[in-house]
Structure formats: structure tokens, C-alpha cells
Amino acid sequence: MPWVHPREDLPIGLFDSGLGGLTVLHQLQCLLPGEPLLYLADSARLPYGERSPSEIRAIAEEAAHWLRVRRVKAMVMACNTMNAVAADVIRAEVKVPVVSLIDAMAASLNLNPGDHVVVLATAATVHSGAYGCAIRRYFPTVRVQEIACPGLVPAIEAGERDSARLEQLVTGYLAPILHETRPIQALVLGCTHYPILRPLLQRLLPWPAPLLDPALPAVMALKQMVQTTGLAAHRPRGSMQFCCTGQTTHFAAEVSNWLRQPVQVEQVSLQSVLLSH
């Protein structure tokens, strides 16, 4: 498929394994309300965080190709695992500006030498070391502690927000930092699903700590990009289109609840698009 220069009326693409990207969509609605949005959820294959790097990169190629065929003018990788493991694959395939959550988060931090930053993320993101590398590019002497949190994404996708089981899981993952004698300067929510658990995290932490959502600096970077490149939409309210690879009923119900308005969800196949082009 030949590359076509993006136009301002084309949508911004968001890609996640499921509901986590809604936290990015929220920031887009706040900061870029006039932009049309195309949200792709690969819910048939979630969670990505427990998959191998080769699997994640193969999925990234399929998703990026699908978004390219559907004509987006820019893209937000609304999945930290994809950012960590397959950003190069997505940028090479989609051929439009792509905003990275991890890079935007690292660039937005305000830290001093010796500060302690904790990153909660999926196993694949933690194993990649992507957050540590990105943060140390700007702050070489800070301490970055990355904690893998398997099981949180499936629980959130199943509708859990404050259950006893979820609280037990989160408490276990926070255990390495609960007895820190020195304050933590930042706790990065390194999975787009995790901001949904902000109230639970704030309740379980014994001391106040900034809970940082990478979606905000990422969307701020995207806003600057579309404005400086002439790609910004000129309308008061942009449209939203939702697509998913899994069962649509549950996903549509969760999105409708999140947005407080009914939505239609199109079921799609990423593989069929890749094979047809």
C-alpha cells in the first residue's frame, strides 16, 4: 500500500490490548476535543504483558498495518508493553507520526540526583527495561525500580476495581516499597490500565506519592505535534470509532460506562487485513 501524506481530517489512531487505552482517550478528549479518534482494542489476545517479545512484535506489525490501511494521520501507542518491546516495528509500518508513552513520560519528569522512581508495569515491560533506560537518559543518577504486576490487566478487563482479590494482588506488588524509609519521588503507572486503579493505590500506599500517568505527557506531545505540522482538526468535537478483535458486547458495555454514552463497536480481524495487502 503506497504511503499517502496524512490530512487534518483523518483520525488519530489509538492501539491497546483492551480497555487501558481509554485512559489515553480521556486525555485526548480533554486536550484535543476536536480530533477524530479511531480506537483499536486487540481484546482477543490480551494480556500482552505475559507474551514473549517475538509474539508482541508480530502483533505490533499486524496492528500497525491495520491502522495504516484504515488511514490515520498520527498514532498513540496506548499500550506501554507495545511501547517497550515493539515501538520500532510500529513506526516502520504505520508511516505516520507516532507518540511513545514511555519517552514522553521520561521527558516530563522533574527529578534530582539520587531520587527514587518506581514503575509499576507488565512483566514484558519490566523485562525490557525500557522505562529505566528512558528515564536514565535524562537523569543518569536516579534510582529506577521497575515492578512487574502480572494479573492486574485481566482483573481490570473483567470489571474488578476494588475487590478483595485485587487488593491482595496490588498489596503484594507494592510490598517491595511499602517499608521504604526514604520518600519515593514518583510512582509511574507504567500500564495504561493502571490509572483505573488510582483510588485503590492511593488507599494502599502508607505515604503520599505522586502517581504519574504517562498518558498526559504523551497527549501533550501529540497536541504540540499536530499543531506544529498543520494536522490539527478544526472542529468543536471530534468523532470516535471503536474496533476490537474480541467479543464486542462486553467491550462496548465497558466503553459506554466509561464515556457515559452508548457506543457502537466494530469487530475486526487484524490478520485478514495483513493477508489482503
> Catalytic site residues?
79, 191
Closest CA to 36 of 59, 7, 60, 65: 7
CB 27 within 8 A of CB 4: no
SS3 category, 130: helix
Euclidean distance between CA atoms 247 and 237, whole angstroms: 28
DSSP tag of 277:
-
Cis peptide before 11 (omega within 30 of 0): no
Nearest alpha-carbon partner for 15 in 105, 104, 103, 81: 81
Q: Please compute Rg for the chain using Cα positions.
A: 18
Cell of 1: 500500500
As a residue count, the chain comes to 277
Strand-pairing partners, residue 145, are 118
Angstrom distance (rounded) from CA 277 to CA 67: 13
Q: Which amino acid is at 164?
A: A
